Amino acid sequence: MKLWQYTITVVLGALCMGLSAAVILTSKSNITIQEEIQGRQQKLNSGVLGQQAQQITGNILQDMATVAAKNEKMRKLLAQYGYTVPAAPQSPAKKPAVQKTPEET
């Protein structure tokens, strides 16, 4: 092996080692950031925002049930996710109740 070939091989090897170290450090940093974000998300979900989201979800389901009383596609969509809505149209003043199927509860 000639000197220039040896030099190139050593330089490339050192470059690979340096890049490997950079990837390891970056991945550890990313894991730390992900754990921090997950902790924040859990605080949000368990706090006031989580309660508001549950209320909003319930209201959205009620509105979807109102539409599903007259719309077969919406009724099928809700049934796909385990919610049953009566097929008969109801008075506009009264929203139909959305019920979970027994296997979902």
Mean pLDDT for all residues in the chain: 82
pLDDT tier at 36, thresholds 50, 70, 90:
very high
> pLDDT tens, 3-33?
999 999 999 999 999 999 999 999 998 999 9
Q: How many residues are present in the chain? A: 105
Model pTM?
0.38
Q: CA gyration radius for the chain?
A: 29
Maximum distance among all alpha carbons in the chain?
91
Residue 53: alpha-carbon gap to chain centroid: 14
Tokens of 56: 């909003």
H or E segment at 5? helix 3-46
Tokens of 80: 């796909």
